[in-house]
């Protein structure tokens, strides 16, 4: 799903109560992370909740990245799912070129989640960008 489709879905939902429920539902649909992936090396710093992110390389051509993630907070898991909708299956270069902040704003998340969650979201974005940059090299 791209940002336009996601924004359309968010607009159809109406109020933020429904949008939060949708985010939680998206988080529930995330494929489970293997237990061994819940390690300190995969932990995202800067999040108030516990967040773990990993990735796999799909050789291609072109080489693409698939992400896995988990959190102990339902809304945060939903934010992870949104982030993966925007980044998974893309090449490292496509991920690095994405304006995720703009997507976040278009979805209305910028002004409708707490400052702590917003900071955590951007910490996750930065971690994904680091993974993409490492694979682009």
> What amino acid positions are annotated as catalytic residues?
47
Q: How far apart are CA 118 and CA 114, in angstroms?
A: 6
Q: How many helices (H) and strands (E) does the chain have?
A: 7, 2
15 contacts 37 by C-beta, under 8 angstroms: no
For residue 89, give the 3-state DSSP assignment.
coil
């Amino acid at each position: 799903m791209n940002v336009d489709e996601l924004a359309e879905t968010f607009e159809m939902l109406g109020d933020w109560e429904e949008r939060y429920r949708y985010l939680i539902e998206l988080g529930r649909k995330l494929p489970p992370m293997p237990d061994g992936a819940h390690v300190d090396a995969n932990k995202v710093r800067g999040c108030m909740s516990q967040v773990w992110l990993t990735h796999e390389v799909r050789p291609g051509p072109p080489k693409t990245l698939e992400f896995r993630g988990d959190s102990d907070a339902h809304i945060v898991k939903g934010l992870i799912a949104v982030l993966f909708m925007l980044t998974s299956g893309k090449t490292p270069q496509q991920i690095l070129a994405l304006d995720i902040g703009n997507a976040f704003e278009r979805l209305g998340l910028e002004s409708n989640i707490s400052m702590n969650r917003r900071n955590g979201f951007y910490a996750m974005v930065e971690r994904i960008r680091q993974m993409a940059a490492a694979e682009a090299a």
